[in-house]
Chains A and B, each alone.
Chain A
Amino acid sequence: MKALIAENVKKTYKSRKKNTEALKGADIDVEKGEIFGILGPNGAGKTTFIKICSTLLNKTEGNIKVLGYDLEKDEKEIRKHIGYIGQDSERSTYARLTGRENLEFFATLYNVSKIDFLERLEEFKKTYDNDEIFDKEVMKLSGGQKQAIVVMRGFLHNPDLVFADEISKGLDPIAAKKIRKFVKNYAKEKGKTVIITSQIMSEIEELCDRVAIIFEGKVVAIDTPQNLMDELNMQLIELRLRTGEIATPEFLKKLVDLETVSAIEQENGFIKLPVTDSTEAFQSIMKICKDFGLNPVISYRTATLEDVFLKFCDKKVELEA
């Protein structure tokens, strides 16, 4: 059984001045036990999609089944079986309660028994590997620790599916890594399905089995991160000019005229050249540099998830390509 089936989901925010189409027919299905990522720029509709699936917002059109339950008919049943970690959620705890008191409060809202709650608490302590966050008042915790409490809140009632909206937003890399590690370990160990939105490519690459890219309210790509990168079939040669070296228009023209170079992009002192045959291109580029008396640092890489993201979400790059 699939954890989520969403077909042609549309959402229009209506107001007196204008209507805003946040989702224009999104189709996403998620397997049970998957960690599924949703990537997209600001305003793409990621949060709207997550909120609709987690019963916080009504959709305008489309069909959604969450864990086999119909979103419209079985709302209460869905709420029992899903967890939700909202965006900017670090503040959403009760600051004067301890981490444990916060979790106990929400456990009661989910009608979790005392025994189950204590069991869950032990699991969290083991997976997160830091006991002190449970005994201190939340206001005395760091941002990362507060976020950890919020993330644990999402798993508190042993849900089958957890929706997580930008869980590491605003956190430093160490805290973000710890949160990601907790989510990955806990979800995989317990066989939970997690649907996570993010704008951090490395987060999606590290956590997710599959990913959907949403752009302007539509799903424009959906696959494993590796397949998406492979499909892009992109090899990139980057040139970084040394101090005093200038890329003249003639030099750039020579580069772009190469048969294996498909485009050229200059950014922050870097010259980026997507190529079709890296070996041949590498030699030709070296020769042109030598002819123009330049000795740049040349590096080579294959497509990253960021390139995939830019291909689908940055129209300017797409046109240039």
Chain B
Amino acid sequence: MAVQNVGFEIKAGFRVLGIGIKRDLTNIRRYKVRLIGWFLSMAIGMFTGYLFSVLFELNPATAGETGISTATQVFIFFIGGVALGTFSDSALWAPMERINQDIHYGTLEAVFVTPSNRVAYLLSPTISDALVNLIFFIPAFIIIMTVNGTLTNLYVIGTTLLVVLATIVSMMAFGIFFAMIALLIRKSQPIALFLSMLMQFLCGAYVPVQAYESMNPVFGPILKYIAYCFPYTYCYDLFRYFTFGSQYNTLFPVWVEFVILGVTSIAFVIIAGFLLKLVERKAKNVGLSIL
């Protein structure tokens, strides 16, 4: 009986996820200005990556730790950061935006009075955002790689997309954490923005984690070990490994990173689901943001 119930709950959860994605995609399709904005932000991100590669060079220490040295590699390093940043942003911000919007319009009460699965409800905007991002990302990524002569084979594209997918999955839990902040605090965006930036820097979006120790012998190792706790770190590392190939020195062996990524992602989703229940109870007690 209990197994039947769990099966029923999972099925209901997937239905919620599905209808949420359908809602968001229908919304996006009917709101064309937003689509243009999406395309522009992706294009600007790519262009910024190109500018960075022209303007900056990695310092010798960083180059030694990572194996990245040429301008093209620096460009790919930054583009990788932008690409993963875009998808992690989807996972991080979409649930929070959903909550904020639903609070603003008073829809959240109508949702929270249902017996629906809250995690599924919060994950649906992440997936729909990621799908729209992919539509813009794939052609943009292929074009830029081709123009720079780095589009060597389909293996690179395939593995890149695999890591992008892993990124979305691993960041979902953090998206739920951000949504929780929105449930509790009305002006939640500055806090979430700060945490998001901190996490991006910490996990190696702009400075490789490998270089922390050589950059600062005191704080470097501490930061490095903190970064190890976040699945996001391995997303960046694996993304660069599959882009640069074997010349790039990963933090751990690739298969170990995949295992850590999988385990930490699942662990964080479980923690997020548990915390969400606590946060909902807290919000109901105090009548905070949602109510």
Contact = CB atoms under 8 A, between A and B. Distances in A.
Interface of A: 13-14, 51, 54-58, 76, 79-80, 82, 84, 86, 88-89, 91-94, 96-97, 101, 104-106, 108-111, 137, 150, 153
Contacts of A88: 106
Contact of B105 (A55, A92, A97): A92
A84 B26 contact: no
Contact of B106 (A54, A92, A96, A108): A92
B110 A137 contact: no
B114 A86 contact: no
B12 A86 contact: no
B27 interface: yes
| Consensus secondary structure, chain B interface | helix
A94 B112 CA distance: 15
Contact of A101 (B18, B26, B105, B115): B26
A89 B110 contact: yes
A92 B105 CA distance: 5
B27 A96 contact: yes
15 contacts: A13-B286, A13-B287, A51-B291, A56-B284, A76-B115, A79-B114, A82-B113, A84-B110, A92-B109, A93-B105, A93-B107, A94-B27, A101-B23, A109-B121, A153-B110
B115 A14 contact: no
Interface string B88-126: 000000000000000001110111111110000100000
- By size class, the interface of chain B is 20 to 34
Interface of B: 12, 15-16, 18-20, 22-23, 26-27, 30-31, 105-107, 109-116, 121, 281, 284-287, 291
Nearest to B31: A96
A150 B111 CA distance: 12
B30 A137 contact: yes
Contacts, number: 83
A109 B114 contact: yes
| Consensus secondary structure, chain A interface | mixed
A97 B116 contact: no
Contacts of B18: 108
A96 B30 contact: yes
B112 A56 contact: yes
Given A56-B284, A111-B116, 7 more contacts: A56-B291, A58-B284, A92-B107, A93-B105, A108-B18, A109-B111, A110-B114
Given A57-B287, A58-B281, A92-B109, A110 B116 contact: yes
B113 A79 contact: yes
A79 B112 CA distance: 9
B158 to A, nearest CB: 34
Contacts of B115: 76, 79-80, 110-111
Task: Identify which of A56, A79, A84, A97 gathers the most chain B CB atoms within 10 Å of its CB.
Answer: A56
